[in-house]
Amino acid sequence: MATETIARRPERVRVQAAPGRRPRRDAGRVLRLYVPLALYLIFTLVPFYWMIVFALRPTGSTAPVPWPITFEHFATVWNDIGYATFFVNSAIVGALTLLFTSVIALMGGYALARFRFRGRTLFMVALLCTQFIPGAMMLIPLFSIFRGLGLINSLWSLVIADTVFGLPLSIILMSGFVAAVPFQVEEAAMVDGCTRTRAFFAVVLPQLRPGLIAVGSFAFIHAWNNFLFALMFISRQDNFTIPVGLSYTIGEYSADFGALAAGGVVAAVPVVCVFAVIQRYLVHGISAGAVKG
């Protein structure tokens, strides 16, 4: 268990430019790599730029830059539209969905990866099949169930629905991560005296960090952006979430683009922050889970 492998990176050979000469840039490399990347970056960032411009410039201005800067649209969405409340609700729903999805997916994923039981393949297929059912189709059955449970108008209805809809994919992903951890290391821990649970926490769980981050971030973002459930299961003004608040800015006969953009900025900030923190785990996480699933 304690074996350590030291991977050596091949040493790079730096070619020094002759004294008095500037190093030549590889024009082909710039053309192949940087130009497409720059174009893609512009393509991706321009909508964000416009969102920020609309959010920060005064109503009626057509300037391509947000000058003079105004924060009136942010004040509108935060105070008048009720983002102060919606933001907290979204954060609660997002955090609890993340928590429940991660914990349940961890347990389900471990079971699928480590145990061979009758109906395992069928269960996996069933999990995959649930992905083909659109949320809108389940709306009325879920509504009736939640109504029976007294959960309509409660944030719990959103947490449960978002968790349930996110779980199949999360379990499949997580089983891939668990399968990637050799069972021998767990066995070695058990030989050293650990129970199976102790071995899981001590040996397997630390290696599942990228997987947990991938699954958790997907769950959070899905819950954060879910408009349909938030509108349908909630009929109380104080319990709505950010996506519903965002749709308030487009009325029947009027559209407040400044408020819409400011609302978009507020809604995007947590998602951008989540990605900024986890992006290095995420890429590895997704590929590891997907390939070995």
Partner 1 sequence: MRSITKVCTAAVAVLALSVTAAACGSDSGGAGQESGGKTTITFWDNNGGVRTPIYQELIKRFEAANPTIKVEYVGIPIASVQQKYDTAIAGGATPDVGGVTTSYLANLTGQQALEPADDWLAKSPVNGRLLDSMLASVKATTPDGKLYMAPATSNLDVVWYQKDKLSAAGVEAPKTWDEFFTAVGKLTKAPDQYGWTIRGGAGSIFQLLAEAYAYSGVPEFFDASGKSTVNDPKNVELVGKIAALYKKDTPEADVTNDFPKMVAQFTSGKVAMMHHNLGSYNDHVKAFGADKIDAFPMPVGATGKRTIVANPVDGFAVFKNSEHKEAAWKFVEFLLSKESNSYWNQQTGQIPANKDAQGDAWLNERPYLKNAVSVLADPQTAVVSPPYYLPQFSSITKADTEPLFQKVLLGQMKPQEFLDTMAQKLTEAQAEWKQAHS
Cα 94 from chain centroid (whole Å): 10
Phi, psi of 80 (to 5 degrees): -80, -45
- Dmax (CA) of the chain: 82
99-118 residues in contact with partner 1 (CB under 8 A) are: 99-100, 102-103
Output the six-digit token pair for 261: 């953009």
- Which run of H or of E encompasses 44? helix 35-56
* Contact status: 250 vs partner 1 (CB under 8 A): yes
From 38-46, 147-155, 167-175, 268-276, span contacting partner 1 (CB under 8 A): 147-155
* Contact status: 152 vs partner 1 (CB under 8 A): yes
* Contact status: 70 vs partner 1 (CB under 8 A): no
Output the six-digit token pair for 158: 């959103």
From 26-34, 127-135, 186-194, 232-240, span contacting partner 1 (CB under 8 A): 232-240
Binding mask 186-205 for partner 1 (x = CB under 8 A): ---------------xx--x
- Which run of H or of E encompasses 10? none
From 35-43, 175-183, 236-244, 270-278, span contacting partner 1 (CB under 8 A): 236-244
* Phi and psi based region of residue 20 (left: phi greater than 0; alpha: psi -120 to 50; beta: remaining): left
Beta carbons of 224 and 248 less than 8 angstroms apart: no
- Which run of H or of E encompasses 235? none
* Contact status: 144 vs partner 1 (CB under 8 A): yes
Residues of this chain that interact with partner 1 (CB under 8 A) are 59-60, 62, 80-81, 96, 99-100, 102-103, 139-140, 143-144, 147, 149-154, 156, 201-202, 205-206, 209, 231-232, 235-237, 239, 244, 247-257
